[in-house]
A and B are shown apart, each in its own frame.
Chain A
């Protein structure tokens, strides 16, 4: 029982080491020696190499463990958490989120729902449930990111199927669309500035066009992801948080309505595509 995660860990670390060596070689060789086209080709090769072994598996294993542990004042596990398909059903749940939950009278994404379950099932205070939402790249790992890895991995291969039948869900979608096109701050940036056209890049980083079905599908189904540059698994809440940071906006509040609205807009637009995360990204 114990040997599986250990074996997994060894494999993953070996892959990771190989990957980092390759990444280092790329950084030195690509810009200095090769032309633009070749630099892009090299990055594509690097990305392909990354797919061979994903450290996200470490987060998935740890997340499943945390999910099943009895924790908090109520000494309960999260196994009875209702992620939308009924208490205890994790398989396929992420592919249908965000959704409206009558018990909370709110549209929730996965992260918000996990916080809700920690409070209601385990009796953990709202403040305590938010203590370590993001890992810091070193020893301070986030339980939340691990649980997100576990739950999302249970939807791998499942077609995205986010509904808007509830009026509050439809409302959230419309608000998310508004948010997507909202330009502000000192740089006049909005999501649409970088994600409104095909084939664009920031520096050498390809940008998905989130205004098209294909673009939204490809982007949304590959989050959460293990970020090699950060040594952490990042959830969709983090993705939005860091985009707004670069947009020069104030700090996006974790689980805020704006974050859920945008997630709803993108998740719904990804409907029909097979979910394929946790992924691995530079």
Chain B
């Protein structure tokens, strides 16, 4: 009741101050949603359903680039943690060599990509990994010596797998795609990329 009164009062104040020239945030959001619908067309494998945001995307967009408040972050992380599915066979590490190929592959899911073609993890776009690859991006942190620095144990393996599966479970509104949750990579591919980070023989740890 009290909240409602405050909301009404705020809306009233906004309309007095100048609602005609400055619509509320909600109004702009509603308009933006309608605008999106009319501004894109389905193409190749990219349908208009890609404009439908889930709860995480909606909450992260609303932050307008700012870090989420503690309670918001906790809620988003809890929501995403619940999505992580670990392999039934209990094995988290696949083939690091295939992981390296996936880390290099930037294609996949674009409307211009062959839907039957490869879908990569594209790790090097944003991260340093194997030291041999000099063409790496910096949107994400360097992952060089990932396990060498953190340990090769079961807990770190589980963290690495989970982080690739759904990074928002650990860092709300991460810039990193939720590779498992969004079905970008298969379980085997996530195992392979996890191995790239975790295998003692991987160039990442050498």
Residues on A lying within 8 angstroms of B by beta carbon are: 30-31, 34-36, 39, 167, 170-171, 174-175, 177-179, 181-190, 192-194, 196-197, 199-205, 207, 211, 244-246, 248-253, 256-259, 261
Contacts and interface: CB of A to CB of B under 8 A. Distances in A.
A258 B36 contact: yes
Q: Which 6 interchain pairs have the tightest Cβ spacing?
A: A258-B39, A256-B39, A251-B43, A178-B32, A187-B177, A250-B40
B183 interface: yes
Contacts, number: 147
Contacts of B50: 184-186, 248-250
A251 B57 contact: no
Contacts of B65: 181, 192, 196, 211
Interface in B162-180: 168, 175, 177-178
Contacts of A196: 65
B28 interface: yes
Given A200-B137, A249-B50, A189 B177 contact: yes
Contacts of A36: 134
B165 to A, nearest CB: 14
B60 A188 contact: yes
Nearest to B183: A186
Nearest to B132: A31
B61 A39 contact: no
B136 interface: yes
B112 interface: yes
Main SS of chain B's interface residues? loop
B135 A39 contact: yes
8 contacts: A185-B46, A185-B51, A186-B177, A193-B175, A211-B65, A245-B110, A257-B39, A258-B36
A266 to B, nearest CB: 14
A251 B41 contact: yes
Contact of B53 (A184, A199, A205, A261): A184
A181 B61 contact: yes
A63 to B, nearest CB: 26
B182 interface: yes
A88 to B, nearest CB: 31
Nearest to A185: B50
Contacts of B23: 171, 174
A181 B36 CA distance: 13
B32 A245 contact: no
Interface string B120-163: 00001110000000111111000000000000000000000000
Contacts of A252: 39-40
A183 B40 contact: no
A41 B52 CA distance: 42
Interface of B: 20-23, 28-29, 31-32, 35-36, 38-43, 46-48, 50-53, 56-57, 60-65, 109-112, 124-126, 134-139, 168, 175, 177-178, 182-184
Contacts of B47: 250
B20 A188 contact: no
A39 B139 contact: no
A181 B64 CA distance: 5
A182 B61 contact: yes
Given A174-B23, A183-B53, A189-B177, A253 B64 contact: no
> Which of B22, B39, B63, B111 has the most A CB atoms < 10 Å from its CB?
B39
Contact of A201 (B40, B46, B52, B138): B138
A245 B111 contact: yes
Contacts of A179: 32, 35-36
B51 A184 contact: yes
Given A188-B168, A194-B139, 15 more contacts: A34-B134, A177-B64, A181-B63, A182-B36, A183-B57, A186-B177, A188-B56, A188-B177, A189-B177, A192-B64, A199-B138, A204-B135, A245-B110, A248-B109, A250-B48
A257 to B, nearest CB: 5
Given A167-B20, A181-B61, A194-B139, A203 B124 contact: yes
B21 A258 contact: no
Nearest to A38: B134
A245 B64 CA distance: 21
Contacts of A174: 23, 28
A177 B63 CA distance: 12
A202 B39 contact: no
Contacts of A177: 64
Given A187-B184, A204-B135, A175 B31 contact: yes
